Structure formats: C-alpha cells, structure tokens
C-alpha cells in the first residue's frame, strides 16, 4: 500500500528514480525512500521510549547502546567512521541459493555484489522514528530481503529479518544472518577509540548451547593497575524463529561461507570481535 508521493529525484542509474513516499507495513506507517543507494549516505537516529539510543547510516553502518556512549553494543564512533564500517559492524546477511539447479551467493547491502545482480535498495523509517527497515530486492533471483531495527524495554535492541520468494519456483536457501562487531560490557568510548586492539585481546565470546544464548564479555576489566579486576557483567544476544540452527560467535567463517564451504558452530572464541550469527537451510 503506497500513497502520497512527497518528493522525487532523478539518479544516474537507469530506472532508479529516488522517491519519498508514504506506505504501511504490517499496520505501521512508514516513510519510504526508493533507490536509497543512489543517494550519498546520510545519518539518522532512532528514538526510544526507554533509554536506548541508536545512530545509523543509510548504508547500514550503526552504533547503538543504552543510557550513553559508555554502554554501547556497537563501537561508538563519529559519523564518517560509522558509515565506513557498514561491512564490518551491525547487520550482516549472506545467502547461498539453489534455484533451478543453479547455485548463487547473495549478500544484501554489501558492496561485494553491487554489480553482480540487478538489485533495488529501499529504506523505510517509521513516522514515529522508532524503527527503521532496510530492503533489498534481487530482481535476477526473484528474492527480497528486509531487516528491521527497533528497541524493546525488556529485550533491548531487536533485529528482525524477513526473506521473501517473489516467484513460484522452489528455492532452497542456506542462510547466515546476524550482527557483528558486538562489544562487551565494560568498554567505554574512550577505551574503544584509543585502544581498540587491546580491547580485542580481552574479548571472550561464549555460547550457551542449550538455549543459543551468546555471551560477550571481557576476560577481565581493563585497568592500568597491578590488581585483579573481574568482569562480572556481559552483553548478550539470542534469537528465535529458526529450528536448531548453528551459531557463530565471530566473523571468522564468513569468507568460507561466501566460498560455498561448510561452517561449524562456535562455542568459545577468544580475542576476536564479537558476532552473533545463525546458520541453517530453509525452503
């Protein structure tokens, strides 16, 4: 349901006019920018009725947290660095697709596949400013993928993913979907900006296999004193919606997945940037 065109801009790409329109998704009203990738990346904020804060670039680079920058879930950087980090921070999804006995790899919103497929990228922001949706439609594979950022006072930040088959053909998809560059509790903005490599050395990412809960903590609080300092708090991530997926706690196996290689579940990763991915096959 689309109505009320507000603005229109011509882009250099054929059949890719940039429009600002009003639309409704699942009963919620949104402003939609079509062909958003034809615009220069711009910065947005998402509001919350609690203590969440989230700043995000139109190309997907993101920082978020609760209270203030000292309680961040993703690194708190400046606008330009967040925009440049879109490939390594925040949402990441890769699909290995079998359709008509042919195999394809599709990585929505990535610069790696911009020239491989005929795609359209749209951006939706709720009229209340409390949620944002990124959408990429692959016209060659007849698939569309959306992910949405919002917040919950109980659960924290919520990322919802939706993959749609736009054809009547049967499609088998092995997916790898999640978030990356999660920072653990206890890493303030100054420490992250000045000593990010040192911070990585202290990171430990663990999986509770029975529930699929990912725990992202420091092996010890980073202090410049000769005294023990235990890290007793952590950031956590978990997922629902898929039956018995594999879980990955880092981005170490993304390259292998792109190359059609198998990935294995990760249960305890030390000294690596945190990530939380689910891996399974759907039809």
By percentage, how much of the chain surpasses pLDDT 70? 95
Q: What is the pLDDT of residues 84-97, one digit of tens each?
A: 999 999 999 999 99
Provide the domain limits for residue 63.
2-282
Q: What is the pLDDT of residues 149-164, one digit of tens each?
A: 999 998 999 999 999 9
Q: Which residues of 90-112 are buried (b: 16+ CB within 10 A; e: fewer)?
A: bbbbbbbbebeeeebbbbbbbee
pLDDT of 11 strictly over 60: no
**Average pLDDT of the chain?**
93
Inter-residue contact 49 to 78 (CB < 8 Å): no
Determine the pLDDT at residue 46: 96
| Overall average pLDDT of the 107-119 stretch | 92
Q: What is the pLDDT of residues 227-254, one digit of tens each?
A: 778 889 999 999 999 999 999 999 999 9
Distances (CA, A) of 146 to 50, 70, 212: 25, 30, 23
Determine the pLDDT at residue 225: 77
| Overall average pLDDT of the 259-263 stretch | 96
Which tokens hold the place of 100?
A: 């008509």
Q: What is the 3-state secondary structure (H, E, C) of 199-229?
A: HHHHEEEEEECCCCEEEEEECCCCCCCCCCC
Inter-residue contact 93 to 147 (CB < 8 Å): yes
Inter-residue contact 10 to 19 (CB < 8 Å): no
Count of domains observed in the chain:
1
Determine the pLDDT at residue 13: 56
- Residue 143 belongs to domain with CATH number: 2.70.98.40
Assign 224 a pLDDT band (cuts: 50, 70, 90): confident
- Which class for 4: exposed (0-12), middle (13-18), buried (19 or more C-beta within 10 A)? exposed
Task: Please give the model's pTM, rounded to 2 decimal places.
Answer: 0.92
DSSP 3-state assignment of 127?
A: coil
Determine the pLDDT at residue 228: 76
pLDDT of 134 strictly over 50: yes
Q: Which residues contact 173 (CB under 8 A, 6 or more apart)?
A: 95, 96, 97, 98, 163, 281, 282, 283
Determine the pLDDT at residue 226: 73
């Amino acid at each position: 349901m689309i109505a009320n065109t507000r603005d229109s801009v011509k882009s250099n790409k054929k059949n890719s006019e940039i429009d600002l329109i009003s639309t409704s998704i699942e009963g919620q009203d949104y402003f939609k920018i079509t062909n958003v990738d034809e615009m220069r990346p711009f910065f947005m904020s998402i509001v919350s009725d609690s203590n969440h804060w989230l700043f995000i670039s139109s190309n997907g680079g993101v920082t978020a947290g609760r209270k203030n920058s000292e309680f961040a879930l993703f690194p708190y950087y400046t606008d330009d660095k967040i925009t440049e980090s879109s490939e390594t921070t925040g949402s990441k999804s890769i699909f290995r697709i079998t359709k008509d006995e042919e195999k394809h790899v599709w990585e929505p919103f990535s610069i790696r596949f911009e020239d491989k497929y005929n795609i359209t990228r749209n951006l939706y922001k709720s009229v209340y400013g409390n949620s944002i949706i990124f959408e990429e439609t692959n016209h060659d594979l007849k698939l569309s993928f959306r992910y949405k950022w919002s917040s919950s006072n109980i659960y924290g930040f919520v990322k919802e993913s939706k993959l749609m088959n736009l054809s009547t053909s049967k499609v088998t998809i092995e997916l790898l979907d999640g978030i990356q560059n999660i920072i653990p509790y206890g890493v303030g903005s100054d420490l992250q900006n000045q000593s990010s490599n040192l911070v990585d050395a202290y990171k430990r990412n663990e999986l509770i296999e029975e529930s699929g809960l990912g725990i992202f903590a420091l092996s010890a609080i980073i202090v410049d004193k000769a005294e023990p300092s235990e890290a007793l708090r952590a950031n956590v991530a978990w997922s629902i919606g898929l039956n018995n997926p594999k879980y990955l706690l880092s981005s170490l196996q993304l390259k292998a997945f792109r190359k059609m290689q198998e990935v294995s579940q990760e249960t305890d990763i030390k000294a690596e940037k945190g990530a939380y991915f689910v891996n399974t096959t759907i039809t």
